[in-house]
């Protein structure tokens, strides 16, 4: 489901939180539980969307108390994300690296990373954890490119741009259309690293509906096409918050992208493997998936129109 815009309430809430974490971070952390509860109570659109997502992710056995705990957990992690973004906009890469506690799959990943010089490397992730510390980890050894959508909330866009500027991350706006993808292709052909998100279709992107948690969710096809066209390795990378506020990271085995992605991308083994990994990660820590909007299509959708995007 494509984003239809940002409400005035959402714009004001996000801007206020970012400004608060920039000016009085200690105070904001102290009152965060109260702010989360107030948001849950005063934002009925988010509350209903989160309850819907919770019912799908947690299953029919989840009662109202569990659904509320899930929704409050997502809102809490949304604030953690905004706090982390502010920290990244004021920190050098070395300082950000201190926020990473655990890196799983690092030994094998070093091999994939070294091999990038001949064909580039695509890192595919989801809206969970924080991108900037992970970028600091990668950018020590190679230029990192990221595909992003210009945010309509100016405060968020400004802070994010400042953070990535400090890291030397090269941004390519999906809003720019085909030109952005051509730039990413060129970067991969030069043996550089491209970071993409694969759990949400942005305006202007092509997606295909695929089964997840028993429903149909639209998954972007672009990362898989880019990997196939360039011959680049596509490595799933996940990061998440640990109880102490630091981050864990995991690099999965590369996904080989073979077969026809034009006629029926949802049947492609690479995309099916990606969906399996995403569903497993969200199931393991549902409150950390940063999504406050409905993303599901009704479970009565037929396979025949699955690729309508």
pLDDT at residue 298, as a whole number: 65
- Smallest CA-to-CA distance from 69 within 47, 102, 91 is with 47
90: in domain: yes
pLDDT at residue 125, as a whole number: 97
- Smallest CA-to-CA distance from 297 within 207, 237, 228, 224 is with 207
pLDDT at residue 2, as a whole number: 41
pLDDT at residue 65, as a whole number: 97
2: in domain: no
Domain coverage including residue 26: 8-305
230: in domain: yes
Query: 43: which DSSP letter?
Result: -
1: in domain: no
Structural domains counted in the chain = 1
3: in domain: no
Give the residues of the chain that fall short of pLDDT 50: 1-4, 299-309
Pairing of strands 233-241, 100-104: unpaired
71 CB contacts (<8 Å, ≥6 apart)?
Answer: 40, 46, 47, 50, 51, 54
pLDDT at residue 11, as a whole number: 83
pLDDT at residue 5, as a whole number: 56
Q: Report yes or no: 39 and 46 within 8 Å, Cβ to Cβ.
A: yes
pLDDT at residue 127, as a whole number: 97
pLDDT at residue 102, as a whole number: 93
- pTM greater than the 0.85 cutoff: yes
pLDDT at residue 54, as a whole number: 97
pLDDT at residue 283, as a whole number: 97
DSSP class per residue in 84-110: HHHHHTT--HHHHHTTEEEEETHHHHH
Half-sphere exposure of 239 (CA within 13 A, CB side): 22
34: in domain: yes
278: in domain: yes
DSSP class per residue in 219-285: EE-HHHHHHHHHT-EEEEEEEEE-TTS-EEEEEPPPBP--S-SSS-GGG-HHHHHHHHHHHHHHHHS
pLDDT at residue 284, as a whole number: 97
3-state SS, residue 292: coil
């Amino acid at each position: 489901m494509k984003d239809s815009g940002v409400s005035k309430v959402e714009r004001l809430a996000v801007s206020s939180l970012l400004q608060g974490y920039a000016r009085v971070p200690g105070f904001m952390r102290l009152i965060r539980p109260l702010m989360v509860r107030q948001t849950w109570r005063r934002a009925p659109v988010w509350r209903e969307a989160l309850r819907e997502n919770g019912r799908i992710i947690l299953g029919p056995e989840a009662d109202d108390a569990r659904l509320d705990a899930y929704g409050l957990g997502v809102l809490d992690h949304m604030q953690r994300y905004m706090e982390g973004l502010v920290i990244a906009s004021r920190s050098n890469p070395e300082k950000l690296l201190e926020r990473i506690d655990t890196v799983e799959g690092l030994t094998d990943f070093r091999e994939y990373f070294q091999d990038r010089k001949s064909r580039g490397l695509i890192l595919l992730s989801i809206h969970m954890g924080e991108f900037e510390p992970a970028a600091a980890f990668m950018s020590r050894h190679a230029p990192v490119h990221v595909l992003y959508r210009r945010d309509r909330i100016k405060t968020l866009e400004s802070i994010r741009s400042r953070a990535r500027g400090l890291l030397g991350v090269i941004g390519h706006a999906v809003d720019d259309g085909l030109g952005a993808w051509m730039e990413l292709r060129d970067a991969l052909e030069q043996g550089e690293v491209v970071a993409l998100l694969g759990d949400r279709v942005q305006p202007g992107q092509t997606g295909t509906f695929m089964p997840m948690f028993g429903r149909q969710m639209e998954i972007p096809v672009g990362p898989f096409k880019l990997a196939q066209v360039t011959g680049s390795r596509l490595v799933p990378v996940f990061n998440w918050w640990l109880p102490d506020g630091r981050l864990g990271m995991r690099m999965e085995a590369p996904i080989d992208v073979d077969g026809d992605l034009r006629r029926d991308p949802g049947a492609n083994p690479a995309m099916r493997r990606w969906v399996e990994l995403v569903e497993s990660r969200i199931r393991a820590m549902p409150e950390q998936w940063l999504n406050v909007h409905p993303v599901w299509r009704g479970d009565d959708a037929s396979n025949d129109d699955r690729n309508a995007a």
